[in-house]
Structure 1
Amino acid sequence: MQLGLIGLGKMGGNMRDRLREAGHEVVGFDQNPEISDATSLDDLIGKLSAPRVVWVMVPAGVTEATIDQLAPLLSAGDVVIDGGNSRFSDDGPRAERLGALGIGYVDAGVSGGVWGKQNGYALMVGGADEHVAQAMPIFESLKPEGEFGFVHAGGVGAGHYAKMVHNGIEYGLMHAYAEGYELLEKSEFVKDVPGVFKSWREGTVVRSWLLDLLDRALDEDPTLASLRGYADDTGEGRWTVEEAIRLAVPMHVISASLFARFESRQEDSPAMKAIAALRNQFGGHAIHKS
């Protein structure tokens, strides 16, 4: 099958390689001419035969502008797939604008990171049946082999919504491992912290790919001494918590893990300063001056 792929960064470039290895013809466009197969979006569309499927794999901040530039170049019967981490609420208006031109729209949540080329990508897609079917050969080649790794989650927006919840769960899982790591590091009993994590990789209920990756990180740096304890967030955790509030769903673990990321960015927490001042005021507890 033929596919136009816009955005050839860490994810998009590896997706192009995996699809080509599966026998698909992929024409890629990127702002970096050294890795691009087309000189412009216009050139990209000119290299594709109608009806076209074009996958947009760019950072969420430029997705809207990219699709707006792309839409006038497409024809009725074409399908646009947004595989970036867009907010689900953007999908409906986007699909409506494209639909007025006769262009289909599919939102795809994509998980797999830099390992997707080798292991396959978990795909959660939303859209009309006919538009998903049009791109199904591409989905089949990107997903891992076997029964799992793909879902047509529902209509437009469902793919990005599912990926949002996936990333919220990821926040919580990572933070549980992180808290366990810190406790082991501070314990006077445990002398081989990396060894403990290795022992968990088989035969335990806490084994997972994230655990394998933490073990790999500890092999490279057993005390993580080269890293700073600062963690960004790309939005999905915030959106998950916002949805929990909207739907009145108790979300203790995911919300706590999100707030912990905010805390990681503070050199000296103003909240903790206020607590220290209050303890000193009401109980005469010692305070530590900066």
Structure 2
Amino acid sequence: MNASAAIGVTGLGVMGRNLARNFARNGYTVAVHNRGEARTRALIDAFGHEGDFVAARTAEELVAALERPRKLLLMVQAGPATDAVIEEFAALLEPGDMIIDGGNAHFADTRRREAALRDLGLHFVGVGVSGGEEGALHGPSVMPGGSAESYAVLGPMFEAISAKVDGEPCAAHIGADGAGHFVKMVHNGIEYADMQLIAEAYDLLRQVAGHTPAEIAEVFRRWNEGRLGSYLVEITAEVLDHTDHATGEPFVDVVADAAGQKGTGRWTVQTALDLGSPVTAIAQATFARAASGQAELRSACAGLPGGVTPALSRTEAARFASRVEHALYASKVIAYDQGWKMIRDAAAEYGWKIDLAEVARIWRGGCIIRASFLDRIRAAHTADPDLVSLLAEPGFAAEIGDAQVPWREVVASAARRGVPVPAFSAALAHYDTLRAGRLPAALLQGQRDYFGAHGYRRTDRPGDFHTHWATPDRVETEA
């Protein structure tokens, strides 16, 4: 077989097939392979006219079809299956060749694989791909990790197939080893929070303001024309406006209220705990999904007393919607800011050099959380690469200041009426935690010292101290 393909793709599920087609549409010859040959034949039969494809029946044929340095994209199930495919192909490759993992792998696995293949002289590139099956075909946001040498070769290809915003490709080298998959994981965590916040806004507009799903769809359409403009707000309006064909009822009323998850949100929360990053809005969004699926627990608690407040008038409902817009925007800023802080914390922990402005830039198109205010996040981190928080940026700080009264009123209204808003509440609590002059953590330190002699630090002099609580005079000594 002639070595004529610029890149190979193994694993031709929906994402693998669409990425292969995207490469071919952009002028690259693509060698394609799948363990079941039927998928390979189906791709060629249905889409062979879109570009140049080379069908490979075996791993050996796939490797033989690739130009040097060989570039092989794996689109297989994360976990042991990925390790097995890597082992199979690594034995067939030569120093300088590149294995690219485009799946949702855990970043720790990517770091392990990158180190092992580096010892063999191979480049391993974990790349985050966001945008779903449509994005994979028409232009995703692409987040490659790995070596700078590998990006010098792969970068132009990723940039070619990525989404474009203002003529700029939504692809950039994120950082070494697992940085690309880490940033994609955080992207998905922010996505969880964004979706939950939007869902809570919908619930408030329905339960408190008394709007119908179709009316709420119009509210979201108006919001999408302003500072809340985003892909998720746009599609929310479409979902809320849809009528179920079978029953004639609003679609949202015939769908089970138990949300699933594939693991990346959970990984974000678990990793945040390891890093000590307070991603509370993301965590509450993840737990809200878990709670929605606890059918037995919810059934046992059904009918328990909750808040009671008179219904709003139409005029009051309109004012309430404006307050919800403020609360949703402020909470979204907090959730995104928590994600950026987590990326900064990971960069410090793992020695990655991640350009936070570039992360905002490549998320402006193709990805699920693309939103109009990402331009402002990019500008903020460009102006100050060491920016600790968006709350320290004057423009965002002013908007959060304007949101204070409506944000708090919305959370209070939800509490009075018994409407659960875990993500709204967590975002507001996070804001209040950061702005507080003094936190009750001082009492926690005293409690820990009392029962576990863990020691504490004082505000008036340096050092670590311990109080001997069991003695009558409770003498303090240096720990």
Q: TM-score, with normalisation over the residues of structure 2?
A: 0.54
Residue of structure 2 in register with 1:6 after alignment: 10
Residue of structure 2 in register with 1:139 after alignment: 158
SS of the residue aligned with 1:153?
Answer: coil
- Structure 1 Cα separation of the partners of residues 287 and 303 of structure 2: 17
- Structure 1 Cα separation of the partners of residues 211 and 252 of structure 2: 17
* Cα shift readout 1:74-119 (whole Å, capped 9, x = no counterpart): 1112101111111111112211221222111111011011221454
Deviation at 1:33, TM superposition (A): 2.0
- Structure 1 Cα separation of the partners of residues 33 and 85 of structure 2: 12
Deviation at 1:256, TM superposition (A): 0.2
Deviation at 1:188, TM superposition (A): 5.3
Residue of structure 2 in register with 1:59 after alignment: 77
- Structure 2 Cα separation of the partners of residues 83 and 24 of structure 1: 18
- In the alignment, structure 1 residue 233 sits paired with structure 2 residue 261: yes
Residue of structure 1 in register with 2:97 after alignment: 78
SS of the residue aligned with 1:246?
Answer: helix
* Cα shift readout 1:131-151 (whole Å, capped 9, x = no counterpart): 111212321222112225112
- In the alignment, structure 1 residue 17 sits paired with structure 2 residue 39: no
* Cα shift readout 1:186-209 (whole Å, capped 9, x = no counterpart): 34542412222222221x222201
Residue of structure 2 in register with 1:255 after alignment: 283
Q: Is the 8 A contact 2:114 2:177 kept in 1?
A: yes
SS of the residue aligned with 1:151?
Answer: coil
Range 173-182 or range 243-252, more displaced: 243-252
- Structure 1 Cα separation of the partners of residues 303 and 124 of structure 2: 51
- In the alignment, structure 1 residue 218 sits paired with structure 2 residue 240: yes
Kindly provide the amino acid, as one letter, of the partner of residue 45 in structure 1: V
Unaligned 5+ segments in structure 2 are 41-54, 244-249, 306-479
Unaligned 5+ segments in structure 1 are 278-290
- Structure 2 Cα separation of the partners of residues 212 and 226 of structure 1: 21
Residue of structure 2 in register with 1:287 after alignment: none
Aligned pairs, number = 276
Alpha-carbon distance change, 275 to 128 in structure 1, aligned in 2, over 3 angstroms: farther
Range 178-187 or range 3-12, more displaced: 178-187
SS of the residue aligned with 1:154?
Answer: coil
- Structure 2 Cα separation of the partners of residues 169 and 116 of structure 1: 18
Range 76-85 or range 57-66, more displaced: 57-66
The runs of at least 4 consecutive aligned structure 1 residues that moved more than 3 Å come to 219-223, 270-277
The equivalent position to 1:207 in structure 2, one of 229, 252, 255, is 229
Deviation at 1:155, TM superposition (A): 0.5
- In the alignment, structure 1 residue 87 sits paired with structure 2 residue 109: no
Deviation at 1:219, TM superposition (A): 3.8
- Structure 1 Cα separation of the partners of residues 286 and 300 of structure 2: 18
Residue of structure 2 in register with 1:196 after alignment: 219
Range 222-231 or range 266-275, more displaced: 266-275
- Structure 1 Cα separation of the partners of residues 17 and 39 of structure 2: 8
Residue of structure 2 in register with 1:155 after alignment: 176
Deviation at 1:218, TM superposition (A): 2.8
Alpha-carbon distance change, 119 to 218 in structure 1, aligned in 2, over 3 angstroms: farther
RMSD: 2.3
- Structure 1 Cα separation of the partners of residues 85 and 290 of structure 2: 30
- In the alignment, structure 1 residue 40 sits paired with structure 2 residue 63: no
SS of the residue aligned with 1:269?
Answer: helix
- Structure 2 Cα separation of the partners of residues 208 and 156 of structure 1: 31
Residue of structure 1 in register with 2:425 after alignment: none
- Structure 2 Cα separation of the partners of residues 143 and 149 of structure 1: 6
Range 12-21 or range 38-47, more displaced: 38-47
- Structure 1 Cα separation of the partners of residues 21 and 176 of structure 2: 29
Deviation at 1:129, TM superposition (A): 0.9
Alpha-carbon distance change, 179 to 188 in structure 1, aligned in 2, over 3 angstroms: closer
Deviation at 1:232, TM superposition (A): 1.9
Q: TM-score, with normalisation over the residues of structure 1?
A: 0.87
Alpha-carbon distance change, 148 to 253 in structure 1, aligned in 2, over 3 angstroms: farther
SS of the residue aligned with 1:34?
Answer: helix
Kindly provide the amino acid, as one letter, of the partner of residue 46 in structure 1: A
Aligned identity (percent) is 37
Deviation at 1:223, TM superposition (A): 3.7
- Structure 2 Cα separation of the partners of residues 274 and 224 of structure 1: 21
The equivalent position to 2:131 in structure 1, one of 94, 112, 117, is 112
Rg larger in 1 or in 2? 2
Residue of structure 2 in register with 1:185 after alignment: 206
Residue of structure 1 in register with 2:34 after alignment: 30
SS of the residue aligned with 1:195?
Answer: helix
